[in-house]
Amino acid sequence: TRSLAGLTALLQGLELEAIPDFPSADMLRQPIDIFHAYLADVLRQLVGCDPQQAYDAIQPANTTGNGDLDIVLPKLKLSGGPDLQDLAADLVKKFPSPHPLFAVPFKDGIHVRFFLSPKTLPNLLLPYILDRGPGYGLLRAPATVGGATGDNPSTPPPSPPDPKKVLVEFSSPNLGQDFRTDHLRSTILGAFVANAHEAMGWQVVRVNYLGDWGKHIGLLGLGWMRYGGEEGGGDAFRRVQEIYGRMEDEVRPRLAAKRRKAAAGEGEGGEEEEEDAIFAERDKAFKRLEDGDAQAVELWEKLRHVSVDYYAGEYRRMGVTFDDYSGESLVCRNPEAVAKVEKLLREKDISQLADDGSLVIDFGKHDAARWGHATLRGKDGLTTYFLRDVATVMDRLEDYSFDKLIYVVGEQDLHFRQVFKAVELLGRPDVTKRLQHLTFTRGPPQWGDEHILGDILNRCEEYVQTAVAAADADQVPRQLLSPADLRTMAVNSLVVHELNTRNKAHTIGLDVEMLMATEGETGLSLQFAYVKLCHLIEKLEPRSAGEWPTDFSSLWEAPWMELLRLLVRFPAVATTAYKSLEPGPVLSYLFQVVEELGYCLEDVEEEDAEGSRAAEEQGSTRAARLMLFKGTRQVLENGMRLLNITPVGGS
Ligand code: ARG
């Protein structure tokens, strides 16, 4: 099924005429489009309309309860305004039955609904899925795929020769500071966004925009000196975090007091000046860094190194790798890039000096009053988060000449609007069009009691180990899970937990019960189902001795047929998720598959228990079911990979 010729041969074997040619049909990726094309051809003949018109009037059914394909009569846009109810009835009557691809259609108002014929679907779909393997439903398997368990690791079709390039910026924690819930969400959502693009043929660059520059680095430097960072032994990363935490504790109440006083309209008192000394010191330390003071830069480099090393290791545990860690320290890495942007802004009169000496953009002066003001440099002359972000866009453009840049960042909506507008004002509306901010609600700042990514992962491991140990023996073949598998499962469960909670109330950061639940739509139940399926395939495989099933009649009924009808939907689910950058549909789809698979397994178990081996012993039944199980495993695996969930349990 790798080529149209191959598909044609397969279809001829099913006694179908040559595939009708429709430019919008994507038959090598979406098997449903084969059915769609044949149906459009019949429709065209019956109504006598233009072929494309017929094609466009057909859509996949919204739910499996409504069949598989759906002719929406108004979409035919027939001239003369025929009575659509009558037309629907007429079409049902005239539809050539029995048709090799469809069961008898039925009328539903102005819809004519079709179920795929059980007699063709398995023969067509299962070889298709197994042939495509990790690329089924996708343009290609995501590059992150490692150790795929499919039996048919044949390479999927090559991606287009000149793929488009997308930069996905995600995770982006700040040096010294806590790894917050929003960083975790960004990591999980960003990994999905990157994988989905890869799967749809993009060249993907994963970027971590570390918060490795700014006043908080000044504060960290101060703390390092004050608390003897060099002397402390042990884990350097934890020392960095701890020292920064101490400094923050000191600063936080003062910041609050300052805000309170400002709000009460109190002037600057002598006492406050003294209190403010720490801010002045912090800013001075950061200024030394921006001025390129050798000692300050050396210390900064060291602390940065410690953090990048640490994070790279923890991300690896999560199955995430970044191609680029260059963050806000662009100011240091490429000061010319910053200078260039600033010069352009000044020359074009986009920015101006405010009364207090800071350099600002007043968006009101550029027909964008709703975006307010943004500061490029403070009155102290130091760069801001905003300036660094604007300069970074231009720098990335030089380095990567990207077609798209997606920021996966919780909230900060106004900030990104301002950055995108500034890029437009710089004379690059073409670049602004390529920028996208994928936002989400941040949730509570902290994930459980943990402040550090590694501790979050450790905690998950504990929870998952406990939950697996407590699970019923019939829920999961525990003895098959290695310690490494359990670690992977912990990360996977965290991913599912995050995806499940991210659109819910702001308050859900960690729901231990949900994380540990082995039933319902949870990470563990998904993984248990996958492990069990792999186990079953291993058991069945030797008995079928590589036999290729010729008789699929054992799959013509529910639940088998229902499972097949779900599998045919995967490519559309993947496409929707990719287009909307929303992983939710993939996850709920996987749970639908797991549920339907569960009914099939129940059937198998019942037959086993009844000892009614007759059916099971029949070679053709066994071979057909084995093939369906393998197809299901492949689809589960492909969906999980999109979500950056590593399937565990295959050998
Ligand atoms: N480091 C920032 C934070 O922790 C997130 C960075 C978002 N990305 C960006 N290009 N500004 O909030």
Q: Which pLDDT does position 151 carry in this prediction? A: 41
- The complex's ipTM? 0.99
What mean pLDDT is predicted for residues 229-237?
85
Q: Which pLDDT does position 271 carry in this prediction? A: 47
Model pLDDT for residues 14-63, shown as the tens digit of each residue: 777 788 889 989 998 999 999 999 999 999 999 999 999 999 999 999 99
What mean pLDDT is predicted for residues 609-624?
69
Q: Which pLDDT does position 577 carry in this prediction? A: 96
Q: Which pLDDT does position 604 carry in this prediction? A: 85
E strands, 9-133, in order: 58-60, 69-72, 106-108, 111-114
Residues recorded for the chain: 651
For the Cβ of 386 lying below 6 angstroms from any atom of ligand 1, the answer is no
Model pLDDT for residues 327-357, shown as the tens digit of each residue: 999 999 999 999 999 999 999 999 999 999 9
Check whether 583 has a pLDDT greater than 70. yes
What mean pLDDT is predicted for residues 279-298?
95
Q: Which pLDDT does position 145 carry in this prediction? A: 40
What mean pLDDT is predicted for residues 444-463?
94
Fold designation for 4-117: Gyrase A; domain 2 (3.30.1360)
Q: Whose CA is nearest to atom 11 of ligand 1?
A: 389
Model pLDDT for residues 72-86, shown as the tens digit of each residue: 999 998 888 788 999
What mean pLDDT is predicted for residues 186-208?
97
The segment(s) of the chain belonging to CATH 3.30.1360.70 are: 4-117
Question: DSSP state, 101?
Answer: S
Check whether 395 has a pLDDT greater than 70. yes
Q: Which pLDDT does position 147 carry in this prediction? A: 36
CA of 209 to the centre of ligand 1 (A): 7
Taking Cα atoms as reference points, which of 164, 130, 96, 102 lies closest to residue 10?
A: 130
Question: DSSP state, 103?
Answer: P
Check whether 640 has a pLDDT greater than 60. yes
For the Cβ of 384 lying below 6 angstroms from any atom of ligand 1, the answer is no
Q: Whose CA is nearest to atom 6 of ligand 1?
A: 172
Which atom of ligand 1 is found nearest the CA of 392? 10
CA atoms of 137 and 129, how far apart (whole Å):
8
Q: Which pLDDT does position 275 carry in this prediction? A: 57
Look up the pTM and report it.
Answer: 0.93
Under a CB-based contact definition with an 8 Å cutoff, are residues 212 and 327 in contact?
yes
Check whether 227 has a pLDDT greater than 60. yes
Check whether 217 has a pLDDT greater than 90. yes
The segment(s) of the chain belonging to CATH 1.10.730.10 are: 453-642
352: β partners? 360
For the Cβ of 409 lying below 6 angstroms from any atom of ligand 1, the answer is yes
Which atom of ligand 1 is found nearest the CA of 415? 11
Give the CA radius of gyration of the chain.
29
Model pLDDT for residues 250-276, shown as the tens digit of each residue: 988 888 887 888 778 765 444 444 557
Joined together, the tokens standing for residue 634 give 């492949």
CA of 145 to the centre of ligand 1 (A): 28
Joined together, the tokens standing for residue 193 give 């966004």
Q: 581 pLDDT band (50/70/90 cuts)? A: very high
Check whether 578 has a pLDDT greater than 90. yes
Q: 160 pLDDT band (50/70/90 cuts)? A: low
Check whether 159 has a pLDDT greater than 70. no
Report whether the peptide linkage leading into residue 98 is cis, meaning its omega lies within 30 degrees of zero.
yes
What mean pLDDT is predicted for residues 379-383?
94
Q: Which pLDDT does position 266 carry in this prediction? A: 62
Q: Which stretch of 148-152, 163-167, 428-432 has the lowest confidence by average pLDDT?
A: 148-152
Q: Which stretch of 279-283, 287-291, 439-443 has the lowest confidence by average pLDDT?
A: 439-443
Model pLDDT for residues 501-530, shown as the tens digit of each residue: 876 655 667 889 999 999 999 999 999 999
Q: Which pLDDT does position 632 carry in this prediction? A: 98
Considering the chain, what is the average pLDDT of its residues? 90
For the Cβ of 327 lying below 6 angstroms from any atom of ligand 1, the answer is no
Q: Which pLDDT does position 549 carry in this prediction? A: 78
More confident residue, 543 or 57: 57
Residue in the structure block whose two tokens are 């098959």: 480
Question: In this prediction, what percent of the chain has a pLDDT beyond 70?
Answer: 92
For the Cβ of 522 lying below 6 angstroms from any atom of ligand 1, the answer is no
Taking Cα atoms as reference points, which of 330, 301, 348 lies closest to residue 397?
A: 330
Check whether 152 has a pLDDT greater than 60. no
Helix (H) or strand (E) holding 250: helix 236-264
For the Cβ of 211 lying below 6 angstroms from any atom of ligand 1, the answer is yes
What mean pLDDT is predicted for residues 640-647?
97
Compute how many other C-beta atoms are within 10 angstroms of the C-beta atom of residue 417. Answer: 17
Check whether 431 has a pLDDT greater than 70. yes
Question: DSSP state, 36?
Answer: H
Q: Which pLDDT does position 8 carry in this prediction? A: 75
For the Cβ of 389 lying below 6 angstroms from any atom of ligand 1, the answer is yes
CA of 213 to the centre of ligand 1 (A): 11
For the Cβ of 418 lying below 6 angstroms from any atom of ligand 1, the answer is no
CA atoms of 566 and 635, how far apart (whole Å):
10
Q: Which pLDDT does position 349 carry in this prediction? A: 94
Positive or negative: CA dihedral 480, 483, 487, 490 = positive
Check whether 571 has a pLDDT greater than 60. yes
Under a CB-based contact definition with an 8 Å cutoff, are residues 117 and 619 in contact?
no
Check whether 545 has a pLDDT greater than 80. no
According to CATH, the superfamily of the domain at 453-642 is Isoleucyl-tRNA Synthetase; Domain 1 (1.10.730.10)
CA of 170 to the centre of ligand 1 (A): 8
